[in-house]
Amino acid sequence: MFKRILVANRGEIAVRITRACRELDIETVAVYSEADRESLHVKYADYAYPIGPAPSAQSYLAIDRIIEVAKKSGADAIHPGYGFLAENSKFAQRCQEDGIVFIGPSPQVIDQMGDKVKARQIMKSAGVPVVPGSEGVLGSELEVLKVAELVGYPFMLKAVAGGGGKGLRLVRSSREVSSAYRAVRSEAASSFGDPRLYVEKYIEKPRHVEIQILADKYGRVIHLYDRECSIQRRHQKIIEESPAPGMDDRTRRRIGRIAIQGARAVGYVGAGTLEFLLDQEKNFYFLEMNTRLQVEHAITERVVGIDLVKAQIEVALGGYLPWRQRHITQTGHAIECRIYAEDAEHDFMPYPGKIEGLRLPEGLGVRNDCGVYEGAEVPIYYDPMIAKLIVWGENRVEAILRMRRALREYQVRGIKTNISFHQWILRHPRFMAGNFSTGFIDEEYHSMSKAELYPHKEIALASAAIAAIHREHEHTLGLLAKGAAEPSKWREQGKRSSLRAVQTFPGRGWRRS
């Protein structure tokens, strides 16, 4: 077993990995930028080291600094989480060269699957259905136009190294090719350092379904079934479910077998995800493979009962997968809502700031993967996701009702979040019926007025005001009855109690280098 693992990430995923390590009795090393000095993942780890200024390019993406900290701290392995360096083959290669275990696939596999054109070619050769498109990289507008004549309009113009909703444009006619080509090429160069492009046929009203796989170093590959990830804004997922609603058992078994074929074709080791587009006739097409842990891994954990982070660590140690495919079953239904510090009413603009109050929902079937605490500062430099709320129910209806209840309990003061937006989605008739595609938010949300989106907002504000008046009235009566000194003393005790609760949460103490 590893003695010490460095977590090369921040926020809720760094806390999530640290928790798994503690259950395995492995010490953890956190790294942090200047903006994250007081972050929860820093407080929660056994050791913490600074790695640079706030911008991620100078801290969380600084390979040399992270490797230096790993050596200095005596870390046996590095877990990259997701985002940042998680799918960076150069980082995985450096770990190998310096004798540090990279908890993930080999640099060669990361390279192959990170190149979307190469990934398409490998999957096509393995018998995995792919979206019709260009066979290779396109180097000019003229080449794009020639492929468009074969594929047809509309099509997606994509960056070879793209991901996270960046480096892609929908092109509906030849008139849009020139501007889309320049925009995608520029964005790809700035975001990924790789301006290469390719074309894929645009599938109308698709569902976004993905398959979680696990593979060990001895050739055993299993899938952990499907996740529905069609609720997206700006091509980024915000609500995920498992199992995917409306998918029949025959399709589910077939897409699972196809995912295993794809993972075997590339010699995959570890936890990974194959993403597919599902059309209205239930045909599915390979989209891409994520060679890392996914943000939405928690819903899979909940329905199959396997801790994916622990499984990653065991595989990295050279262990065998203890399960065969027949052992894996789905139980119940899980839903995840990504909680962002953003203003949904103003085009989902990030909303950094200090969290002045925080109350997380609790109760049966509720899990909080949270990266903040009351009093924490949400910095402007990183992705605005601050937490994930996961619920489980015996069926989809119970899971939806439980998520509605949990969202009502969720309270964040000091910053804006998308909690109200999630509440709107969870009550939408199309969502409740499972009748949606990746265009759901564009079709239903952007076309509505604020009054239509939040019809009960004024009632809620009025109710809150009335409740505040009642509390103030009761407080005044208390002052008159007991005198001003004792309530003042009670308030001070309350403050100290609150601080103790925050400080004892980390557990084994904080050691910061």
Query: Would you say 245 and 198 are in contact if contact means Cβ atoms under 8 Å apart?
Result: no
Tokens of 87: 């799918």
Q: Is 383 exposed, middle or buried (0-12, 13-18, 19+ CB in 10 A)?
A: middle
Residue 513 CA: distances (Å) to CA of 11, 50, 52, 166: 19, 8, 13, 36
Residue 280 CA: distances (Å) to CA of 247, 359, 437: 11, 41, 9
CA–CA gap between residue 159 and residue 154 (Å, rounded): 17
**Residue 370 host element (H or E):** strand 366-370
Q: Which residues of 257-293 are buried (b: 16+ CB within 10 A; e: fewer)?
A: ebbbebbebbebbbbbbbbbbbeeeeebbbbbbbbbb
Give how far the C-alpha of residue 75 lies from the chain's centroid of Cα atoms, to the nearest Å: 26
Contacts of 67 by beta carbon, 8 Å cutoff, 6+ apart: 94, 95, 98, 100
Q: Is 227 exposed, middle or buried (0-12, 13-18, 19+ CB in 10 A)?
A: buried
Provide the angle, in degrees to the nearest 10, between the axes of the packed helices 419-426 and 396-409: 150
Can you point out the beta strands (E) in 151-283?
A: 155-163, 166-171, 197-201, 207-215, 221-233, 236-242, 270-278
Provide the angle, in degrees to the nearest 10, between the axes of the packed helices 141-151 and 177-192: 110
CA–CA gap between residue 24 and residue 314 (Å, rounded): 10
Locate all alpha helices (DSSP H) within 86-170, ordered by sequence.
89-97, 107-114, 116-125, 141-151
Q: How far apart are the first and last CA of the chain?
A: 24
Q: Which residues are catalytic?
A: 292
Can you point out the beta strands (E) in 154-196?
A: 155-163, 166-171
> 3-class SS at 12?
helix
Are β-strands 4-7 and 77-79 bridged in parallel, bridged antiparallel, or unpaired?
A: parallel
Tokens of 267: 């010699």
State the greatest distance between any 2 C-alpha atoms of the chain, in Å, as a whole number: 84
DSSP calls for 294-361: -TTHHHHHHHH---HHHHHHHHHTTPPP---GGG----SEEEEEEEESEEGGGTTEE--EE--EEE--
Q: Closest Cα to residue 421, out of 391, 397, 457, 395?
A: 457
Are β-strands 4-7 and 27-33 bridged in parallel, bridged antiparallel, or unpaired?
A: parallel
CA–CA gap between residue 354 and residue 340 (Å, rounded): 14
